[in-house]
Each structure stands twice: as C-alpha cells, then as structure tokens.
Amino acid sequence: MTAMTRRSFAKLSALAGAAGAVGLAAHGSLTETDQAFAQSGVERVKHHTVCHNCYNNCPCWVYTEDGVAVKIEGDENGTLSKGALCTKALNQLHLVYSPRHVLHPMKRVGERGTNEWEAISWDEAVDLAATKIAEASAFGESVFVHDGRGKGAVAYEAFAEEVVARGKRERDTLRPAVAR
C-alpha cells in the first residue's frame, strides 16, 4: 500500500467534501415526490409465445408495458431451447420497433439501386405481384410461391392464393398478345 502524501490527502478531503455537499443538497428531493405517483407503476404483463424468426419456433416469454414489448426471454420448459434464445430471437425487439421497419408495401420509383420507394396499398401490391407472375408464367404453366421459411402461415397462403389467382387471370389476357 502506498503512503498517503499531503497532496493525496488534500485531494481526498476535497472529494469527500464535494460528495457530502451533493448529498446534503439532494437530501429530501425524493421524499417530496407525490405519494400516489410514487406508488403507481407501469404494469408489466408476461405473454407466452414463440419466436417466428426461423423454423424452430422456440418458445419464449415476452414482457409488455402499456402494450409495448420491452423484454424477451427464453422459456425454460422449451423442449429444444431449454430456456436459451439465439441472437435472432433476442433481436426481435429491435426489429419490430426499428424506425426502418417496413409497415406497408413499398414500390420502387427510382432506378434500381437508388433506394427510392413509395408506399402503395395492399391491393396495388397484390395486383403488381400478379402482373409480374402473369408476365413470367405467360410462357409456361407452373408458378411456385414460397415464403422461404418452410412454415406456410395461413395469412401468407391466402396472400399467395390471391396473387396466383389474379396472375392467372392476367396471364390469360396476356397469352394472345405473347403468342403473336
């Protein structure tokens, strides 16, 4: 241990005096808070769900405060994960609440690579997808639509069926023009 010099004693004394002054100045500031406000808190609700970021569907718990997800943790009873979550699952809060999160269909308006987009309606997006599928399938009969995750969610299947149905109608109108 080093010996205390006169200089280090003066520094320590000044630091202790400053800490004491700050402590005295702050004394009572928290006790003056409205009692009703101090006892009210945000209600945290625990929801059981699964992560949908890959095909494993790991069970997890999501905690919400005022309807906003604030924490994700693994379910210790999960048969595969045993309470552990991967980085993709733990990143879901950032993904959902990111200012860059796409909330509605977007259509490119500039040249490819310029990152220029405009928001469009779902009907316009389905019509555009159907038209592109019809153009591609005007030369053949088969169209393969897949969500890339191997899950086949009901909402996705309904969307795919609608796109394919509109695409077939569009293709049938395009075929005579292509055959010429």
Q: Which residues are catalytic?
A: 88
Q: Are 124 and 105 in contact (CB under 8 A)?
A: yes
Number of residues in the chain: 180
CA 128, CA 107: separation in Å to the nearest integer? 9
Q: HSE of 125 in the Cβ direction (CA atoms, 13 Å)?
A: 13
Mode of pairing for the β-strands spanning 44-50 and 117-119: unpaired
51-77 burial, b at 16+ Cβ within 10 Å, e below that, comes to bebeeeebbbbbeeeeeeeeebebbee
Query: For the chain, first and last CA: distance in Å?
Result: 96
Place of tokens 């053949």: 140
What one-letter code names the amino acid at 107?
K
Are 163 and 147 contacting, i.e. CB atoms less than 8 angstroms apart? no
